Amino acid sequence: MVAVWAEADLVLADEFRDGNVPAKQAPLTCAQLAFAALPASVTQRYFRGDSACHENELLHWLKHPERAQEPGGRIGFAISAVLSAPLLAATRQVAEAAWRTIQTEADGTRRQRAEVAFVPGEANEKKDGQPLRYVGLRLLKPQGELFADGADRHHHAVVTNLDWAGERLLQWQREKAGTVEPVHDEVKNALGGGHVPSQHFNANAAWFKLALMAYNIVSAMRRLSLTAEERTVRLKKFRLLVIQLVGRMSRVQNTLRLRFCAAREAIARGQRIWEVFALPTQATAFT
């Protein structure tokens, strides 16, 4: 489980778990660690997640009135709702006129949204909890076309404490896929976090933690030192830009020199990185 600060592209908290632990089990701890790691300069806080985060303890903590008294203020959230039978029934009962098309995809599928009147009735729901807002999302195929399961429409929902317009809310919540999923891909595949080296749980947890630390370092280098065009490069290209540079260290009259065999642009890129991430060294300037 990984919590990512979207604006800074940094991993704030993580939990390395056994493979048989369901994604929905106890997400609150990771969320609390992530918000605690934010700097004091952050004055607006938000949380978005998939249906694994639709868990009562986490929802109760996020929406609790005490959040507004904290330095970072309240926490606005939008989470993909688990489509239980009662919630699915509630979305299907929404009047046809209430559905509003917000986007038409290339294949003609219409994305529609509507407010859903729904109050969950789980036995473990907090008695003092305030009702949350449910925004329904319906994917509607053109007449005569069906999804793979034979249906002409699919229903989804987002649970939130925000009063944003439906289109803005659904778009913002959907953007989480462009934040945390690329992080997982980079950490697991480009940095080796998905290929654990040991049969021991703690050793593998440490390995994954090192991969996350490496991701944060690379992310900081991209954002603070590279040009606007280079800040979004994936790690495969980042290696070519920064890491895979040929050079030689030499000592002349008790002075260490670093000579690169690289293009001027590559050397200038390295200089920008070392200006931001200064290292204690006896080496002289680039030559």
Q: What is the pLDDT of residue 213?
A: 96
Structure tokens at 88: 């699915």
Residue given tokens 């290292």 in the structure block: 279
Segment 160-187 mean pLDDT: 92
- At 129 the pLDDT is 57
What does the pLDDT average to over 14-28?
A: 90
Residue 275 token pair? 């200006």
Q: Does residue 147 form part of some domain?
A: yes
Q: Confidence class of residue 249 from pLDDT cuts 50, 70 and 90?
A: confident
In a domain, 28, yes or no: no
Backbone CA torsion sign across 40, 59, 3, 177: negative
Q: Look at residue 116 and tell me if it is in a domain.
A: yes
258/134 Cα distance (integer angstroms) = 60
Contacts of 106 (CB under 8 A, 6+ apart): none
Query: Structural domain of residue 121, as residue ranges?
Result: 74-176
**271 closest CA partner among 235, 237, 247:** 247
> Which residue do the tokens 């009135």 mark?
65
Rounded distance between C-alpha atoms, residue 215 and residue 238, angstroms: 11
- The answer to whether position 126 is within a domain reads yes
Q: Is residue 213 in some structural domain?
A: no
Q: Please calculate the CA angle 222-228-231 and round it to the nearest 5 degrees.
A: 25
Q: Is residue 55 part of a domain?
A: no
pLDDT at 258: 80
Average pLDDT over residues 150-154: 91
For residue 47, pLDDT beyond 90? yes
Q: Tell me the average pLDDT of the chain.
A: 89
Instruction: Find out whether 169 and 78 touch, Cβ atoms under 8 Å.
Output: yes
The pLDDT tens digits of the residues spanning 214-231 come to 999 999 999 999 998 888
Q: Is residue 84 part of a domain?
A: yes
Tokens standing for residue 112: 């529609």
Residue 89 has pLDDT above 60, yes or no: yes
Band the pLDDT of 28: cuts 50, 70, 90: very high
Number of independent structural domains in the chain: 1
How many CA atoms within 13 Å lie on the side-chain side of 33? 14
129 found inside a domain: yes
